[in-house]
Amino acid sequence: MHPHCFLALLTLLTLLNAVPATRKVSAPWKEIKDLKDPYVIGIAEWGVSEYNKNVTGTNKLVFQSVTWGVSAFISGTFYELVIAAKNQSLTIPPEEYKLGVWDRFLTRLFMRLIKDDGKFV
């Protein structure tokens, strides 16, 4: 195979692997249908701002959009969102991160923010 074809194929495979639709959702998780829901966006923005509080210098993330997400009701609502965000200290385009937030009555808890590994929750 021509090396360029191989590279193109590799890129395509990488992109396909990144397609979140391949994640299987199982109970108690429910896939979030409306990724533009202002409430969901608010959760994501809140999570990123919490994360940024712990980050020094220019390594902060700038939230762009929610690309996938699930929620589960566990004494409050637990959100696991895949978000596109830009690392301010890098010149590369936005990357995907996984954000976990526990949203309870009057309190929100930041669980984690990690580079997306493509795995479900």
Ligand X SMILES: *[C@@H]1O[C@H](CO)[C@@H](O)[C@H](O)[C@H]1NC(C)=O
Note the residues at the interface with ligand X (CB under 6 A). 50-51, 54, 59, 61, 87, 89-90, 110, 115
Least distance to ligand X, CB of residue 66, Å = 17
For 104, residues 6+ apart whose C-beta sits below 8 A from its C-beta are: 75, 76, 77
Establish whether the linkage from the previous residue to 38 is cis, with ω within 30° of 0. Answer: no
Which CB sits closer to ligand X, 26 or 58?
Answer: 58
Given a contact cutoff of 8 angstroms between Cβ atoms, the answer to whether 78 and 28 are in contact is no
Least distance to ligand X, CB of residue 107, Å = 14
Least distance to ligand X, CB of residue 24, Å = 26
Which CB sits closer to ligand X, 36 or 115?
Answer: 115
Given a contact cutoff of 8 angstroms between Cβ atoms, the answer to whether 108 and 101 are in contact is yes
The edge-to-edge listing of strands for the beta sheet with 30-31 is: 30-31, 61-73, 77-87, 95-104, 107-115
Which CB sits closer to ligand X, 74 or 90?
Answer: 90
Least distance to ligand X, CB of residue 2, Å = 33
